[in-house]
Amino acid sequence: MEAENSTVVKEFILLGLTQSRNIQLLVFVLVLIFYFIILPGNFLIILTIRTDPGLTALLYFFLGNLAFLDASYSFIVAPRMLVDFLSEKKVISYRGCITQLFFLHFLGGGEGLLLVVMAFDRYIAICRPLHYSTVMNPRACYALLLALWLGGFVHSIIQVALILRLPFCGPNRLDNFFCDVPQVIKLACTDTFVVELLMVFSSGLLTLLCFLGLLSSYAVILCRVHGSACEGKSKALSTCTTHVMIILLMFGPAIFIYTRPFRALPADKVVSFFHTVIFPLLNPVIYTLRNQEVKTSMRRLLSRHVVC
């Protein structure tokens, strides 16, 4: 009587990024190189910020948390992707698929909210400097940090709850190299129109609103900085430009994937590959190359260890 709601499928077969063996080997080498840059790059940022007494500003506190989220995010898809490239049959269990989907949205949602917090921090620092120490005190920062982790958790739980309500009793071939909402929904043995609308509303609309809100806030900040004559103008412009680049690189692919009806497009896998594998690498690269204080601190840290 409740068989229609039961999940018969116990595993999903991942079709992978491409069927060409030569391209698979090429991507395997590229992902391996990226992965060995992602982890040291992000951990070096965290270590530098934690050990350098000169990097005590809240900007670096949030940057350290961003690096931690990127390092954690890189564990969700890339390791399994590397193993699957060497396997003939790419299989993931139903529970493993749900777990991967949960952490993907948990950490991804948390990172998106962290960018909102960083934009708020820059807005107060540049547009309301006299109120900065009052508004952005340590207690408020830890409260914001807790809020973004809770926000990411709630966002992820909503995605997982909607998926768990769907019956999977037939096809189990997932046309991707990892588990994500759009592809998993299509395998359900029921009409998914309402669920797709809920997913677009919970993921797509939220992503789009955060993206537009962030761009608007940085537009206000950049206009304010451009019209001022303060001595820290170039540093503020550089910091805000870096944040805008990260926003475009993170939210662009997410908007492409989650704000349209869930139908497959040829570019989906490439965009997903960029979003899950390449993007975590770009944060440390962009921040390191564009932030003079972080670069100087890293050189000091590395030279100290080389001498030792």
273, pLDDT greater than 50: yes
CA 72 and chain centroid, separation: 10
Categorize the per-residue pLDDT at 53 as very low, low, confident or very high, splitting at 50, 70 and 90.
confident
List, in sequence order, every beta strand (DSSP E) within 64-145: 91-93
Is the CATH number of domain 11-189+270-303 1.20.1070.10?
yes
Span 84-123, pLDDT tens digits: 888 878 899 999 999 999 999 999 999 989 989 988 988 8
Are 70 and 37 spatial neighbours (Cβ–Cβ below 8 Å)?
no
Span 200-242, pLDDT tens digits: 888 888 888 889 888 888 888 888 877 665 656 677 777 788 7
Residue 100 carries which side chain, given as an amino acid letter? Q
Span 112-159, pLDDT tens digits: 899 899 889 888 888 888 888 888 888 998 999 999 999 999 999 999
Q: What was the pLDDT predicted at 99?
A: 95
Q: Please indicate whether residue 234 or residue 12 has the higher confidence score (pLDDT).
A: 12
Q: What is the mean pLDDT of the chain?
A: 84
- Give, rounded to a whole angstrom, the gap between the first and last alpha carbons of the chain: 70
Contacts for 114 with CB less than 8 Å, ≥ 6 apart: 62, 65, 66, 69, 148
Categorize the per-residue pLDDT at 293 as very low, low, confident or very high, splitting at 50, 70 and 90.
confident
Count of CA atoms in the C-beta half-sphere (13 A) of 58: 23
Q: What was the pLDDT predicted at 233?
A: 67
